[in-house]
Amino acid sequence: MWSDEQGSASRRFFYSAVFWLLVPGLIGLFLATFLYVPSFYDNLPLVVKPYLSFGRLRPTHVNIMIFGWLSQAYAGAILFILPRLTRTRLYSERLAHVNWWLWNLMMVGAAITLPLGLTQGREYAEMIWPLDLLAVLNWGLLAVNIWVTVMRRREPKIYVSLWNFMAATIVFIPVYMVGTKIWDPGGAYTGMTDNIVNYFYVHNLFNSWFTTAGVGLALYLLPKLTGKPLYSHRLALWGLWSVWAGQHHQLYSAAPDWLEYLTVVFSILAVVPTTAFIVNFFMTMRGSWNRVRDDVALRFLATGAIFWGLTCVQGVAQSFRTFSLLVHFTNWTVGHSHLAFVADYTFWAFALIYVMVPQLAHRPLHSRKLMEWHYWLITLGMTLFMAALWIAGVIQGLDWMSGRIPFLETVQAMHPLFGARLLGGLMAGAGVLCFVYNIWQTARRPQTAPAVALVGGGGE
């Protein structure tokens, strides 16, 4: 339970992340089916209807996706990387196990309370107060392991990934505390301020945790898989000024105009670190594209980076008032958030897991063929899914701004596109099943001889 074996906590984080991925996946398919055929929900037995209602499952889907799957995959990868980049043992494997138990306690809590309708009612900050406290504790424990291991390192140089992990934890913890009003069990501010703080938090959850730590993870894996050093080490940390850009989530709102202009300026400034990362990534990739054919992990990493670039282009475009006016509130936004959380960060997490889990489990990956199926199903599925929603969003935006079409007709016009989204979601879901089955079979197979480096890259 509290093993001191090196890598044991990292392995556990990966396994539980893979388990939790199934939950938002299934909920997502359920909700996509509902939006395509709403009458299917009407006919469910009355006893289960409250817990399967769209407004309760939607936050369950989001919270488990980002905190149960993605954040645990991040934690597993960070714990894997720390000893390798510092050339020392992890500060405390036991602490990491405590961290793992508490993290999963938080997720079980979220999976029970959110469908029960116990919520703080603020997007991405829905978890009730006790779970908020657990979240702060969890990121705190992870931060202790990161910071103390780096302090005790035997490698004099601090590689860029470590900088990113440290910056991510130190910024994200206060962001979470302010964002969820941690000192108040109600967890909400009053009036306009509540919305301003909510989107300060949402933006920085993305910016300081998923992007800063995620870029660190990608920049660790890339040289490993291509066998080439990073193109440039003088890479700026993900723009610190992006902390200021939260209000671009609510343009033309009742918040002060000067705040909107300010946040647009800072959003445009974010082009600088974004471009730096993209240039660095693709200059390092140069000459290695032939490896993508055989190495599915590298293919996931590179595809994720391409989608990441698209996320940033969309993000800057959406922070212009004119474009925001057209697509905000439409299904475009749903497409954009799936681009960020599924097509980039999740794709990077797949790459990390395919490389790290066989090493941690001391056995080769169960099936290469399933990896290929996983890649093609989820890449094509998500492309269809997102394209359908972007088209849907532009149609909705134009319809609404015309001021001549009854709202209900603009909803009905979504039907074929929601069908395409469901189809894309089913393909992605089938891909995820290939992935989960493959990892499960890898984990349960009897331990064999030293792991064959099936996917390239790997340990020191």
Which residues, 189 to 228, sit near other proteins by CB under 8 A? Answer: 189-198, 200
Quote the least distance from Cβ 243 to other proteins, whole Å: 4
The 10 Å Cβ neighbour count of residue 265 is 14
Nearer to other proteins by Cβ, of 195 and 319: the residue is 195
Site string for other proteins, 391-410 (x = CB under 8 A): -----x---xxxxxxxxx--
Nearer to other proteins by Cβ, of 1 and 408: the residue is 408
Q: Indicate which single residue of 94, 123, 367, 391 sits in contact with other proteins (rule: CB under 8 A).
A: 123
* DSSP per residue, 64-127: IIIIIIIHHHHHHHHHHHHHHHHTS--S-HHHHHHHHHHHHHHHHHHHHHTTTT----STT--S
Nearer to other proteins by Cβ, of 188 and 278: the residue is 188
Q: Indicate which single residue of 59, 216, 425, 429 sits in contact with other proteins (rule: CB under 8 A).
A: 59
Site string for other proteins, 289-328 (x = CB under 8 A): ------------------------------------x--x
Nearer to other proteins by Cβ, of 188 and 387: the residue is 188
Is 38 a binding residue for other proteins by CB under 8 A? The answer is yes
Q: Indicate which single residue of 8, 86, 149, 247 sits in contact with other proteins (rule: CB under 8 A).
A: 247
Quote the least distance from Cβ 50 to other proteins, whole Å: 5
The 10 Å Cβ neighbour count of residue 369 is 10
* DSSP per residue, 361-415: HTS--S-HHHHHHHHHHHHHHHHHHHHHHHHHHHHHHHHHHHT-S-HHHHHHTTH
Residue 393 makes CB contacts below 8 A (sequence gap 6+) with 327, 330, 331, 332, 333, 334, 335
Rounded CA separation 188/181 (Å): 6
CA 23 to the chain's CA centroid = 15
Tokens 């094509």, located at residue: 380
Query: What angle is formed at CA 274 by the lines to CA 273 and CA 280, rounded to 5 degrees?
Result: 85
Quote the least distance from Cβ 317 to other proteins, whole Å: 17
Q: Indicate which single residue of 95, 243, 387, 394 sits in contact with other proteins (rule: CB under 8 A).
A: 243
Is 87 a binding residue for other proteins by CB under 8 A? The answer is no
Is 158 a binding residue for other proteins by CB under 8 A? The answer is yes
Site string for other proteins, 413-442 (x = CB under 8 A): -x----------------------------
Nearer to other proteins by Cβ, of 12 and 328: the residue is 328
Quote the least distance from Cβ 14 to other proteins, whole Å: 28
Contact assessment for residue 63 and residue 126, using Cβ atoms and an 8 Å cutoff: yes
> Which residue stretch of 116-124, 270-278, 377-385, 426-434 sits at the interface with other proteins (rule: CB under 8 A)?
116-124
Residue 358 makes CB contacts below 8 A (sequence gap 6+) with 364, 365, 442, 451, 454, 455
Rounded CA separation 360/12 (Å): 10
Nearer to other proteins by Cβ, of 5 and 409: the residue is 409
Quote the least distance from Cβ 36 to other proteins, whole Å: 9
Nearest to 13, CA basis, from 352, 240, 305: 352
Using a 10 angstrom Cβ sphere, with 0-12 exposed, 13-18 middle and 19 or more buried, the burial of residue 407 is: exposed
> Which residue stretch of 82-90, 127-135, 160-168, 373-381 sits at the interface with other proteins (rule: CB under 8 A)?
160-168
Rounded CA separation 354/405 (Å): 49
How many residues bind other proteins (CB under 8 A)? The answer is: 84
Collapsing DSSP to helix, strand or coil, 133 comes out as: helix
Site string for other proteins, 329-368 (x = CB under 8 A): xx--xx----------------------------------
Is 244 a binding residue for other proteins by CB under 8 A? The answer is yes
Quote the least distance from Cβ 44 to other proteins, whole Å: 10
